[in-house]
Amino acid sequence: MNTKQSPIKISATDANQRFSRLLAESEQGHEVVITRRGKPVARLQSIHQPKSETHDIGSPIDSGIPDFEIRRELIAYCRKMNDVGLNQGTSGNASARVSGGLLITPSGLDYERTEPVDIVKVDMEGKVLRGHRNPSSEWHFHCRVMAAKPKAGALLHTHSINATTLACLGRDIPPFHYMVAVGGGRDIRCAPYATFGTEKLADAVLEALEGRIACLMANHGMIVLGRDIDDAFKRAVEIETLAAQYLKALSIGKPQLLTVGEMNVVLEKFKSYSAWADPKR
């Protein structure tokens, strides 16, 4: 799908004056990239060459942006969260650790419209280092949690239906099933409620994540850490599944819980089972 020709790069100010010519160029199949201070900010694309519908994120010409592949991956997994029903619309967000800070999804932008250049780089205090958009409103907990868990490479936050239903009941996920260990411990705690986007929420989340890599947030959703974004995504799918199973079990009776000893055996086994090896180690 990529053209062999190099793209026509033009600054935003010049592009205004030459817009019709650029449109014509793009209709002929040339790629036109509009830049601001050397950074790509927009791309003209011929309507006769529609982008493939899903997971077509940016193009190789954007690869001048630092950590381009990680930006693409973050967007791909956010879209995947929506595709598999883990998340809806623009709620939920994701971050990945890079040299010097975090890459985080922007605030209030539909993932289908998000491009690698829209991903924001922040330092561990939340200061924007690079980007033309605001970082996710949940940057407080992304920064605080990722600073506290240096082995984690990525953090996903979603409002998935079943995990959020339990969170609205203020319930932890107890060891009713051994897979609870994907959250890094014997249970998955629910952090007490605090307003979204606040430091108070970050405090509550950090406490619930003590010795864990996943938690619920009361009346809000879930947070999952992973070695990388793919690992965090897989854990999020498992936790959403666990939440559905737990709700179903609760609807019929009182689920049988595994003992501390039984869960310790599982946690020990997970250490050597690469799929679920905990990023804390």
Q: How far is the CB of 224 from Zn ion (least distance, A)?
A: 13
Restricting to residues 185-244, name those near Zn ion by CB under 5 A.
Answer: 221
Question: Residue 166: in which H helix or E strand, if any?
Answer: helix 161-168
Instruction: Considering the complex, state which of residue 7 and residue 221 has its C-beta at the smaller distance from Zn ion.
Output: 221
Instruction: Considering the complex, state which of residue 197 and residue 255 has its C-beta at the smaller distance from Zn ion.
Output: 197
Count interface residues toward Zn ion (CB under 5 A): 1
Residue nearest to Zn ion (CB): 221
3-state secondary structure of 42: strand
Q: Which of 54, 266, 240 shows the shortest CA–CA distance to 175?
A: 266
Instruction: Considering the complex, state which of residue 46 and residue 91 has its C-beta at the smaller distance from Zn ion.
Output: 91
- Contact partners, residue 273, CB within 8 Å, separation at least 6: none
Instruction: Considering the complex, state which of residue 122 and residue 201 has its C-beta at the smaller distance from Zn ion.
Output: 201
CB distance 212 to 161 below 8 Å: no
Give the amino acid at 79. Answer: R
Instruction: Considering the complex, state which of residue 185 and residue 221 has its C-beta at the smaller distance from Zn ion.
Output: 221
- Each residue 125-164 as x (binds Zn ion by CB under 5 A) or -, in order, gives ----------------------------------------
CB distance 191 to 218 below 8 Å: yes
Q: How far is the CB of 158 from Zn ion (least distance, A)?
A: 8
The catalytically annotated residue of 25, 31, 115, 138 is 138
Mode of pairing for the β-strands spanning 32-36 and 8-11: parallel
Give yes or no: 138 in active site. Answer: yes
Looking at residue 113, what DSSP letter applies? G
Distances (CA, A) of 35 to 10, 47, 119, 221, 233: 6, 21, 16, 38, 33
Q: How far is the CB of 96 from Zn ion (least distance, A)?
A: 18
Q: How far is the CB of 25 from Zn ion (least distance, A)?
A: 42
Beta strands in 57-185 (DSSP E): 93-98, 101-104, 120-122, 128-130, 154-158
Cα Rg for the chain, rounded, in angstroms?
21
Q: How far is the CB of 54 from Zn ion (least distance, A)?
A: 24
Active site residues: 138
Binding site for Zn ion (CB under 5 A): 221
